[in-house]
Amino acid sequence: MNWLRACLTENVGLKLWSLALALAIWSTFGGDPVTEATVRVPVEYHNVPDRLELLPALNEVQLRVRGPSRALRRAVPGDFSVRVDLSPSKEPGERTFVFRTDAIQTPTFLKVVQVIPAQIQFALEQTITKQVPVHPQFFGKVASPQRIKNYRVRPSHVRIAGPSSHVEPMQAVMTDAVELTGLRASKTILTAVSIQDPLVRLVDSPTVEITIELQKAD
């Protein structure tokens, strides 16, 4: 009977705490039916190798989640974490990643039973840097009888970086549009370089200086 006495008397505080936790869980979710729901969750790409650029084909997946209905109603997409570890990838090329439901972080009491799609494809490309000219954009007309004699952009060239398939075709970058309407005298204007491709980034400062020289029209 000593073993029975030990079971009842040892670690009494821990046993009582465990019992209280179990009762709390049962009272919260014990009466809830088990249901399913679909949640859209962003894909997180971790450990992108140096000098390589990620070109994801998919930025989010759907999760079929099962659990107590009350827990499902409380859950939000931010409670889940779908991660793709890129550390094994050392060279450029296309990759396929297969999702494991048991590797997805979920709130307590909920379980992922399916990931849609079950796998994703993405590519890794070499990072390249390139110097390209800056072309200004103007709109509107200067005040009569003035006309534009000349303009200068400083710096005239900037460096861009990104995946090779996106950087190599770019021959120039544009500035934000500069309004000339009503301009009566030569002027220097600060503006920003604008890159439309979200996978290409500016290495240098985004600010450039445009000097516009006017003269009287003949």
Choose the weakest-confidence range: 6-10, 29-33, 185-189: 6-10
> Strand, helix or coil at 90?
coil
| Closest residue by Cα to residue 146 from 212, 102, 86, 92 | 212
CA distance 135 to 14: 72
In this predicted structure, what is the pLDDT of residue 144?
86
Q: Map out the domains of the chain with their CATH numbers.
A: 31-117 (2.170.120), 127-216 (2.170.120.40)
- By CB atoms closer than 10 A (0-12, 13-18, 19+), residue 16 is exposed
In this predicted structure, what is the pLDDT of residue 41?
95
Cβ(97)–Cβ(45) below 8 Å: no
In this predicted structure, what is the pLDDT of residue 123?
93
Query: At residue 156, does pLDDT exceed 60?
Result: yes
CA dihedral 72, 59, 92, 158 (to 10 degrees): -140
Backbone angles phi, psi at 108, to 5 degrees: -60, 140
Q: How many helices (H) and strands (E) does the chain have?
A: 4, 13
For 11-25, the pLDDT digits (tens) are: 656 555 554 554 445
> Looking at this protein, which amino acid is placed at residue 209?
E
For residue 2, CA distances in Å to 13, 16, 110 come to 20, 20, 40
